[in-house]
Amino acid sequence: METADPRNSVPPGHQAFGGLVAAVTAMAVLVAVPALVGLPDRLPTLPAAFWTMAVLAVACDARPFVPPGRRQTSAIFPSTCFTFAILLGWGLGPAVAVQAVAVAVSGWRMRHALWRTAFNTAQYACALGAAYLVLRLGPGGLATDGRLRWTDVAVVGVATATWFAVNYGLVSTALRLRFGGRWWPSVRQALPFELLSTGSLLLLAPVLVAAARASAVLIPLVLVPLFAVYRMSRLSAEQEQLAALDPLTGLPNRKALLAEVAEQVHLHAERVARGGPDAHLALLLIDLDRFKNVNDALGHAVGDRLLVEVSARLVDVVGGRDMLARLGGDEFAIVATRLAGVDEARELADRVVAALAEPVPLDGLPLDVGASIGVALFPEHGEDYATLMRHADVAMYDAKHRNDTVAVYAAESDHNSAERLGLLADLRRVLEAGPPVARTVRGGDGATLPSRLATDPGPRAGQSRWWPRRRRPRTGPEHPDELLNRILTGADPTRPRVIRPGPDVPPPAEAPAGPAPARDDAADDVGAITMYYQPQIAIATGEVVGVEALLRWRHPRRGMVDPGELIRLAEQSAVMRLLTRRVVDDVIEQLAKWSAAGITLRASLNVSVRDLHTNEIADRIAEQLTRFGVRPERLQLEITEGALMADPRRVLATITRLHRLGVAISLDDFGTGYSSLQHLRRLPLAEVKVDRSFVLGMADDADDAAVVRSMIELAGALGLRVVAEGVEDERTWRLLHTAGCDVAQGWFHARPMPAEELATWLSRYRPVHPTVAAETDGPRRAGR
């Protein structure tokens, strides 16, 4: 695919580059004009060897050699060898004249801008002038008496180095001023190649001079090795080209795509700098749908023929301006250049979808082939090949998941973005660090609780455990409620817990004896995992019968992480195993503390589908229940309907084992997934939880109210307890009581709160009994 050479244009605002071009041109004029003044009088006296070299220099530059794997701007010009030999044999004037003609011819063949051809001529003139000055400092002509002395070799070597240094230095400076700092690494990396190619041509010049002094007939012989090298390079280039093509379809492959995107990124970066309207580059990743079915049913030979037909259709859509590549298997990619925005990229994707919508007839059998296409744009979605390809891949899978044909990259769909991976790493760190031994107690709204709600610390360092433990005076007055005092001062059956005072409370006066213990700050910069508990109220009696354990993570930079995002993040990796262990350990430990304080509650905790695929969660629960002495019926696990459908056999085995342990099972989000009477009949369930999406609208929507009543009646007929989530107002609470619901959970009663705050709430809570009013018949259905 032909692209415009960025070296032929000068964007506005490059005054330094323009100044360099003018300065080099002026210097070349000063160097060349004195040497060219007497050249017309010398032309008749120049020997045949000179004319032979001049003709060869111009002829060779008419078709410069581009090494395989490199751009046209890296072409090698053989005239360098001949003009440097002319400089050694006949002086500066003839060398500059021949070089100027050769540069003009090569510039015309390669479609260089006039100013660029003039600059190249001036650059060579300056290099030849500097080399000529070095030669003038030497002993004189090269082997004038037929003998080559060591001083001649030294002078020629210094002149060669000077020519190369001046020429390469001018080119490098021009590139840096023209393209900025990002081109400097590539210029530096090109130095070894330039030393090998241009240096070899320059060192061949003395050989030509020596051959010319013997006979001009020997000079063309140098073309034989040059032609051999040229042919070998061409064969290598052809092999390189074949290596960049897909053997089945003949399209460019992944290697060619990488080179094309890298080239186009540089070109479009220049358009962005100029503020051009066509500065966008789009990478479209295409994945064929149902191609595996064709391979499995009809064989790989038919699948290959299908790929060839699909590639032909895609070529018709793309045309000659953009690149179409096959990445392997059933994946293709399109590099769309010079776009005005995402709308043009979508339009191209829609044309691809339309081209693949028609069945492909093979052996009289029409095969339906669709495609999912992901689109990533430069510079919005990435500025290099790797980033654009990854984001296009994310968009393509997003299209598949949404059962759509085209999707443009969106950060929220990237579940493996750098931010999410960093968040996952922080989650792993905070889980591996374990629960903090000391932390500030916060309420549900994030406010620090008064220090009087903090329990006393354990023994100080150096204090013997055999002596009776003395308690420090409490920092606040004793709470008037007897139950709360029992909770705050009761014995901890598991381990002493230290609560660090909040920022508004001064630390105790006494300090622990001995050196301060080393503090583990592993989780200080990743926040803390905390369990919040939302009460569940028996509607008929108003008593608190249980709590649901809810996970909370306060991140130091992101604040409170959304629980749904936290679970989705953990479920994609082995971190989910650590998270489940942490939740199980914390909840069962908290149940033990409540039991010691005289509080009898049932705690429900949610588990992931990954947890139910192995027996590890059952083993962990059994181990922790035994360790803390908690009765199994105090714990309940909530599973979703989606978890049941993921792998029913393994999930049922895990649930059955938990049921035999005495742990109750609750079906969460009932009514939103794949519920069926078969689930309710076969599973060892204790309760169902009506999803909040139905409960929230039942006071105003007759359909939601009817659905909730039907769920309650069904569960009641099967002997299951019914919990309604999302109870946020009194009217809904009364409607649920009328419908016969057992338990309510929602902000009407209490928000989720930490265990310490829950103790305070329990001490103040007084049961409320609903009364049935005439208006609780529910909303009336509108006429249809």
Query: 540 pLDDT exceeds 80?
Result: yes
User: 10 Å Cβ neighbour count for 391?
Assistant: 26
Residue among 737, 722, 729 at smallest CA distance from 771: 737
Rounded to whole angstroms, how far apart are CA atoms 199 and 197?
Answer: 6
Of 59-68, 234-243, 634-643, which one has max mean pLDDT? 634-643
440 versus 769: the higher-pLDDT residue is 769
Alpha helices in 180-299 (DSSP H): 184-189, 191-214, 223-243, 254-274, 291-298
The tokens for 415 are: 């579940």
pLDDT (0 to 100) of residue 468 = 40
538 versus 299: the higher-pLDDT residue is 538
207 versus 92: the higher-pLDDT residue is 92
432 versus 121: the higher-pLDDT residue is 121
Residue 489: pLDDT band with limits 50, 70, 90 = very low
Residue among 359, 348, 372, 246 at smallest CA distance from 310: 359
Do 271 and 397 lie in one domain? The reply is yes
Mean pLDDT throughout 456-472? Answer: 39
Place of tokens 């052809």: 238
Weakest-pLDDT range from 168-172, 362-366, 477-481, 725-729:
477-481
Rounded to whole angstroms, how far apart are CA atoms 784 and 781?
Answer: 9
523 versus 122: the higher-pLDDT residue is 122
Query: 383 pLDDT exceeds 60?
Result: yes
8-state DSSP, 71: -
Q: How many residues does the chain have?
A: 784
604 versus 226: the higher-pLDDT residue is 604
Residue 184: pLDDT band with limits 50, 70, 90 = low
Q: Which residues contact 596 (CB under 8 A, 6 or more apart)?
A: 490, 491, 492, 493
Sign of the torsion angle spanned by Cα atoms 83, 87, 89, 90: positive
In this structure, is residue 24 part of a structural domain?
A: yes
Do 684 and 540 lie in one domain? The reply is yes
Sign of the torsion angle spanned by Cα atoms 62, 68, 69, 70: negative
pLDDT (0 to 100) of residue 434 = 72
Mean pLDDT throughout 412-432? Answer: 76
Query: 479 pLDDT exceeds 70?
Result: no
Query: 36 pLDDT exceeds 70?
Result: yes
Do 219 and 274 lie in one domain? The reply is no
Q: Are 54 and 42 in contact (CB under 8 A)?
A: no
Give me the residues paired with residue 744 across strands.
537, 724
Query: 728 pLDDT exceeds 70?
Result: yes
End-to-end Cα, the chain, rounded Å: 63
In this structure, is residue 730 part of a structural domain?
A: yes
Write the pLDDT tens digit of every residue in 335-355: 999 898 899 999 999 999 999
Q: Are 325 and 257 in contact (CB under 8 A)?
A: yes
pLDDT (0 to 100) of residue 333 = 93
pLDDT (0 to 100) of residue 541 = 92
Residue among 730, 614, 726 at smallest CA distance from 669: 726
Mean pLDDT throughout 77-98? Answer: 90
Write the pLDDT tens digit of every residue in 243-285: 778 888 889 998 889 988 988 888 888 888 777 788 899 999 9
Q: Are 484 and 763 in contact (CB under 8 A)?
A: yes
The tokens for 385 are: 């090949």
Rounded to whole angstroms, how far apart are CA atoms 93 and 779?
Answer: 103
Residue 216: pLDDT band with limits 50, 70, 90 = confident
Do 118 and 201 lie in one domain? The reply is yes
Residue 181: pLDDT band with limits 50, 70, 90 = low
Report helix, strand or coil for 69: coil
Rounded to whole angstroms, how far apart are CA atoms 79 and 120?
Answer: 13
Do 686 and 640 lie in one domain? The reply is yes
Which contiguous run of DSSP H or E holds residue 311? helix 300-318
Residue among 623, 540, 546 at smallest CA distance from 581: 623
The tokens for 197 are: 């190619």
Query: 539 pLDDT exceeds 50?
Result: yes
The tokens for 137 are: 């400092």
Query: 636 pLDDT exceeds 90?
Result: yes
Do 361 and 315 lie in one domain? The reply is yes
Q: Which residues contact 81 (CB under 8 A, 6 or more apart)?
A: 57, 201, 202, 204, 205, 208, 222
Residue 206: pLDDT band with limits 50, 70, 90 = confident
Q: Are 351 and 378 in contact (CB under 8 A)?
A: no
Q: Which residues contact 341 (CB under 8 A, 6 or more apart)?
A: 280
Residue 162: pLDDT band with limits 50, 70, 90 = very high
* Sheet of 280-289, strands arranged across: 323-328, 331-339, 280-289, 370-378, 406-408
307 versus 401: the higher-pLDDT residue is 307
Weakest-pLDDT range from 263-267, 316-320, 446-450:
446-450
Do 579 and 696 lie in one domain? The reply is yes
Do 224 and 296 lie in one domain? The reply is no
Rounded to whole angstroms, how far apart are CA atoms 360 and 290?
Answer: 13
Peptide bond into 192 cis (omega under 30): no
pLDDT (0 to 100) of residue 269 = 86
Query: 446 pLDDT exceeds 50?
Result: no
Q: Tell me the pLDDT of the chain averaged across its residues.
A: 79
Residue 297: pLDDT band with limits 50, 70, 90 = confident
Q: Are 94 and 86 in contact (CB under 8 A)?
A: yes
Q: Phi and psi of 311, rounded to 5°?
A: -65, -35
Rounded to whole angstroms, how far apart are CA atoms 685 and 678?
Answer: 12
In this structure, is residue 409 part of a structural domain?
A: yes
Residue 476: pLDDT band with limits 50, 70, 90 = very low
In this structure, is residue 451 part of a structural domain?
A: no
Give me the residues paired with residue 331 across strands.
287, 328
Q: Where residue 686 sits, what CATH number does that domain have?
A: 3.20.20.450
Q: Which of 243, 269, 292 is the last residue of a domain?
A: 243
Q: Are 762 and 534 in contact (CB under 8 A)?
A: no
DSSP E strands in 363-501: the ranges are 365-367, 370-378, 406-408, 438-439, 498-499
Q: Are 104 and 117 in contact (CB under 8 A)?
A: yes
Of 14-23, 96-105, 634-643, which one has max mean pLDDT? 96-105
pLDDT (0 to 100) of residue 483 = 40
Give me the residues paired with residue 333 across strands.
285, 325
Rounded to whole angstroms, how far apart are CA atoms 484 and 477?
Answer: 13
Q: Where residue 224 sits, what CATH number does that domain have?
A: 1.10.1760.20
Q: Which of 243, 277, 299 is the last residue of a domain?
A: 243
433 versus 384: the higher-pLDDT residue is 384
Write the pLDDT tens digit of every residue in 495-518: 333 333 333 333 433 334 344 444
Of 112-116, 532-536, 612-616, which one has max mean pLDDT? 532-536
Do 620 and 702 lie in one domain? The reply is yes
Residue among 635, 629, 588, 595 at smallest CA distance from 486: 595
In this structure, is residue 476 part of a structural domain?
A: no
In this structure, is residue 737 part of a structural domain?
A: yes
The tokens for 176 are: 């840096």
Rounded to whole angstroms, how far apart are CA atoms 207 and 205?
Answer: 5
Do 594 and 721 lie in one domain? The reply is yes
Do 151 and 265 lie in one domain? The reply is no
Rounded to whole angstroms, how far apart are CA atoms 340 and 240?
Answer: 34
Q: Which domain holds residue 566?
A: 530-777
Residue among 59, 51, 49 at smallest CA distance from 79: 59
Q: Which residues contact 529 (CB under 8 A, 6 or more apart)?
A: 430, 431, 435, 551, 552, 553, 582
The tokens for 330 are: 């059933």
Our count of domains for the chain comes to: 3
Residue 376: pLDDT band with limits 50, 70, 90 = very high
pLDDT (0 to 100) of residue 148 = 62
pLDDT (0 to 100) of residue 11 = 60
The tokens for 312 are: 């032909």
Give me the residues paired with residue 371 across strands.
288
**Cα–Cα–Cα angle for 743, 744, 747, nearest 5°?**
160
The rounded percent of the chain whose pLDDT value lies above 70 is 76
Rounded to whole angstroms, how far apart are CA atoms 128 and 143?
Answer: 20
Q: Exposed/middle/buried for 631, CB within 10 Å: 0-12, 13-18, 19+?
A: exposed
Do 214 and 267 lie in one domain? The reply is no
The rounded percent of the chain whose pLDDT value lies above 90 is 31
DSSP notation for 84-142 = HHHHHHH-HHHHHHHHHHHHHHHHHHTT--HHHHHHHHHHHHHHHHHHHHHHHTSSSST
Q: Where residue 327 sits, what CATH number does that domain have?
A: 3.30.70.270
In this structure, is residue 487 part of a structural domain?
A: no
DSSP notation for 713-740 = HHHHHTT-EEEEE---SHHHHHHHHHHT
Q: Which of 243, 278, 301 is the last residue of a domain?
A: 243
Residue among 335, 249, 355 at smallest CA distance from 285: 335
Q: Are 78 and 62 in contact (CB under 8 A)?
A: no
Write the pLDDT tens digit of every residue in 655-707: 899 999 999 999 887 766 555 566 667 788 899 999 888 899 888 889 889 99
Q: Phi and psi of 545, rounded to 5°?
A: -110, -10
In this structure, is residue 494 part of a structural domain?
A: no
